[in-house]
Amino acid sequence: MRPIIDTVEVRIVGEGDRIQLVHGDGGEATRELIEGFFLPRIGSEELRVAGDAVRPGEETDLWMTTDSFVVSPLQFPGGDIGGLAVNGTVNDLAVAGARPRWFSAGFILEEGLPLEVLGTVLDSMGRAARIAGVRVVAADTKVVERGAADGIYINTTGVGTTLRGIDLGPHRVRPGDAVVVTGPVGDHGVAIMAGRAGISFETEVTSDCAPLWPLTGRILEGLGGGVHFMRDPTRGGLATVLGELARAAGCRVTVEEARIPGRPGVRGAAEMLGLDPLYLACEGQAVIVVESARAERVLEIIRSGDGPWDPAIIGRVEEGPVGVSLTTELGGTRPLGPLRGDPLPRIC
Amino acid sequence: MRPIIDTVEVRIVGEGDRIQLVHGDGGEATRELIEGFFLPRIGSEELRVAGDAVRPGEETDLWMTTDSFVVSPLQFPGGDIGGLAVNGTVNDLAVAGARPRWFSAGFILEEGLPLEVLGTVLDSMGRAARIAGVRVVAADTKVVERGAADGIYINTTGVGTTLRGIDLGPHRVRPGDAVVVTGPVGDHGVAIMAGRAGISFETEVTSDCAPLWPLTGRILEGLGGGVHFMRDPTRGGLATVLGELARAAGCRVTVEEARIPGRPGVRGAAEMLGLDPLYLACEGQAVIVVESARAERVLEIIRSGDGPWDPAIIGRVEEGPVGVSLTTELGGTRPLGPLRGDPLPRIC
Choosing from B162, B190, B211, the residue where a domain stops is: B162
CATH number reported for the structural domain that contains residue B72 in this entry: 3.30.1330.10
Residues 304-323 of chain B whose Cβ lies under 8 A from any Cβ of chain A: none
CA atoms lying within 13 Å on the CB side of residue B251: 20
Say what the pLDDT of residue B348 is.
92
pLDDT of residue A98: 95
Can you give the pLDDT at residue A51? 64
The pLDDT tens digits for B277-303 are 999 999 999 999 999 999 999 999 999
The ipTM (two decimal places) reads: 0.92
Q: Examine residue A340 and state whether it is found in any structural domain, yes or no.
A: no
Asked if the structure places residue A321 within a domain, the reply is: yes
Domain identity same for B317 and B245: yes
Question: Looking at the predicted structure, is the pLDDT value of residue B9 above 50?
Answer: no
d(CA B53, CA B209): 19
Q: B149 lies in a domain?
A: yes
- pLDDT at residue number A25: 81
Taking CB atoms and an 8 Å cutoff, what residues of chain B touch A2? 138-140
- Name the domain count of chain A: 3
Same domain, B95 and B220: no
- Cα gap B84→B39, rounded to integer Å: 27
Q: What is the pTM of this model?
A: 0.93
- The answer to which of A91-105, A108-122, B157-171 has the lowest mean pLDDT is B157-171
pLDDT per residue over A178-198, tens digit each? 999 999 999 999 999 888 877
Q: What is the DSSP letter of A18?
A: B
Sorted by sequence, the CB contacts under 8 Å of residue A308 that are 6+ apart come out as A183, A184, A187, A208, A210, A284, A285
Consecutive H or E run containing A248: helix A237-249
Predicted pLDDT of residue B48 = 79
- Specify the pLDDT at position A59: 67
Residue A38 has pLDDT above 60, yes or no: yes
Residue ending a domain, choose from B129, B162, B195: B162
Average pLDDT value for chain B: 90
- Nearest Cα residue in chain B from A43: B136
Residue B255 sits in a domain of what CATH number? 3.90.650.10
Question: Does residue A347 belong to any structural domain of this protein?
Answer: no
Beta-carbon neighbour count of residue A80 at 10 Å? 22
Number of Cα atoms under 13 Å in the Cβ half of residue A22: 13
Rounded to an integer, the average pLDDT of B98-103 is 96
According to DSSP, residue A108 is labeled E
Same structural domain for residues B206 and B78? no
pLDDT digits (tens, 9 = 90+) for A301-310: 999 999 999 9
Q: Taking 90 as the threshold, does the pLDDT of residue A70 lie above it?
A: yes
pLDDT of residue A220: 96
Mean pLDDT in residue range B121-140? 96
Instruction: Establish if B343 belongs to a structural domain.
Output: no
Q: What is the DSSP string of B127-153?
A: HHHHHHT-EEEEEEEEEE-TTSSSSEE
- For residues A184 and A268, membership in a common domain is answered with yes
Q: How far does the CA of residue B335 sit from the closest CA of chain A (Å)?
A: 28
Rounded mean pLDDT, A318-347: 89
pLDDT for B51 beyond 90: no
Smallest CA–CA distance, residue B109 to chain A, in Å, is 7
Please check whether residues B30 and B59 belong to one and the same domain.
no
B343 pLDDT above the threshold of 70: no
Nearest to A150 among B12, B53, B144 (CB): B144
A290 shares its domain with A317: yes
Contact B138 A38 (CB under 8 A): no
pLDDT of residue A2: 36
Contact B4, B34 (CB under 8 A): no
Q: Are A343 and A24 in contact (CB under 8 A)?
A: yes
A323-327 and A252-256 beta bridge pairing: parallel
- What is the average per-residue pLDDT within A230-249? 94
Residues A325, A281, single domain; the answer is yes
8 Å CB contact between B261 and B284 = no
Residues B177 and B134 in one domain: no
**Per-residue model confidence (pLDDT) at position B336:** 94
- In this predicted structure, the answer to whether residue A6 has a pLDDT above a threshold of 90 is no
pLDDT digits (tens, 9 = 90+) for B214-249: 999 999 999 978 999 999 999 889 999 999 999 999
- Tell me the backbone φ, ψ of residue A193, rounded to 5 degrees: -65, -35
Query: Is the torsion defined by CA of B313, B317, B322, B325 positive or negative?
Result: negative
Q: Which residue from A minimizes the CA distance to B140?
A: A1
Query: So what's the pLDDT on residue A1?
Result: 36
Checking if the pLDDT of A319 tops 80, the result is yes
Both A18 and A110 in one domain: the answer is no
Q: How confident is the model at residue B1 (pLDDT cuts 50, 70, 90)?
A: very low
> CB-CB: which of A1, A107, A145 is closest to B141?
A1
Residues A241 and A184 reside in one and the same domain: yes
Same domain flag for B60 and B153: yes
Indicate whether A30 and A65 sit together in one domain. Answer: no
Are A202 and A295 a contacting pair, CB within 8 Å? no
Provide the mean pLDDT of chain A. 90
Decide if A342 is inside a domain.
no
pLDDT score of B60: 74
The conformation of residue B114, written as its DSSP 8-state character, comes to: B
What's the pLDDT tens digit per position in A148-173?
Answer: 999 999 999 999 998 888 899 999 99
Report whether B74 contacts B152 (CB < 8 A). Answer: yes
How do residues A101-141 score in pLDDT, each as one tens digit? 999 999 999 999 999 999 999 999 999 999 999 999 999 99
Q: Is residue B347 part of a domain?
A: no
- Determine whether A54 is exposed, middle or buried from the number of CB atoms within 10 Å of its CB (0-12, 13-18, 19+): buried
Position B41 scores a pLDDT of 95
B345 interaction partners in chain A (CB closer than 8 Å):
143-145
Q: Check residue A7 and give its pLDDT.
A: 32
A11-15, A313-317, B213-217, B226-230, range with the lowest pLDDT: A11-15
Is B346 within the bounds of a domain? no
pLDDT at B321: 96
Nearest-neighbour CA in chain B from A261: distance (Å) = 28
Task: Answer yes or no: is pLDDT of A8 > 70.
Answer: no
Q: Which domain holds residue A130?
A: 54-162
- Please say whether the beta carbons of B282 and B234 come within 8 A: yes
Instruction: Give the pLDDT mean for B138-148.
Output: 95
User: What number is the average pLDDT over the span A280-300?
Assistant: 97
Minimum distance, in Å, between the CA of residue B45 and any CA atom of chain A? 8
Q: Of A104, A134, A162, which marks where a domain is finished?
A: A162
